[in-house]
């Protein structure tokens, strides 16, 4: 089942939240619709805390959830390498779980 959720990166406005190109440019995550689709079961992105924005500072979508703030994962097992926080010591996504904080998520 695929759910339509509000785009986290632009907060559902459909506009580029950082106005990188111009104030009227469309959000690159949802293509201006303000909505994104994620397949169930859906988890809130632990890497960006659901904001959809890259916590590393660049004004770009989160590399783990692609800016949606959520992702599909059918696993509830915490990643042993990062202990479920999705980050490695240097702040980059955990190499084992890809930043999702859960082990063996399937795309
Ligand atoms: Zn958007
Ligand atoms: Zn994210
Ligand atoms: Zn991990």
d(CA 67, CA 53): 6
d(CA 65, CA 93): 11
Which positions of the chain have pLDDT values less than 70? 20-23, 58, 106-107
pLDDT of the residue at 24: 73
pLDDT of the residue at 100: 95
The Å distance, Cα 99 to ligand 2 centre, comes to 8
Q: Which ligand is nearest to the CA of 33?
A: 1
Q: Point out which residues pair with 78 in neighbouring strands.
A: 102
pLDDT of the residue at 106: 61
**What's the whole-model pTM score?**
0.89
pLDDT of the residue at 91: 87
pLDDT of the residue at 89: 85
Cα separation values, 71 from 54, 99, 101, Å: 15, 11, 11
The Å distance, Cα 76 to ligand 1 centre, comes to 27
pLDDT of the residue at 21: 62
The answer for 67, left when phi > 0, alpha when psi is -120 to 50, beta otherwise, is: left
With tokens 């659901």, the residue in question is 50
The Å distance, Cα 7 to ligand 1 centre, comes to 5
Q: Which ligand is nearest to the CA of 45?
A: 2
pLDDT of the residue at 104: 81
């Amino acid at each position: 089942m695929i759910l339509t959720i509000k785009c986290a990166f632009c907060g559902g406005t459909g506009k580029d939240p950082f106005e990188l190109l111009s104030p009227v440019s469309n959000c690159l995550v949802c293509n201006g619709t303000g909505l994104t689709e994620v397949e169930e079961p859906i988890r809130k992105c632990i890497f960006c805390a659901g904001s959809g924005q890259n916590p590393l500072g660049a004004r770009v979508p989160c590399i783990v959830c692609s800016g949606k703030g959520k992702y599909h994962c059918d696993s509830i097992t915490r990643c042993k390498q990062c202990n479920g926080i999705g980050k490695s010591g240097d702040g980059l996504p955990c190499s084992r779980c890809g930043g999702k904080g859960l082990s063996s998520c399937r795309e």
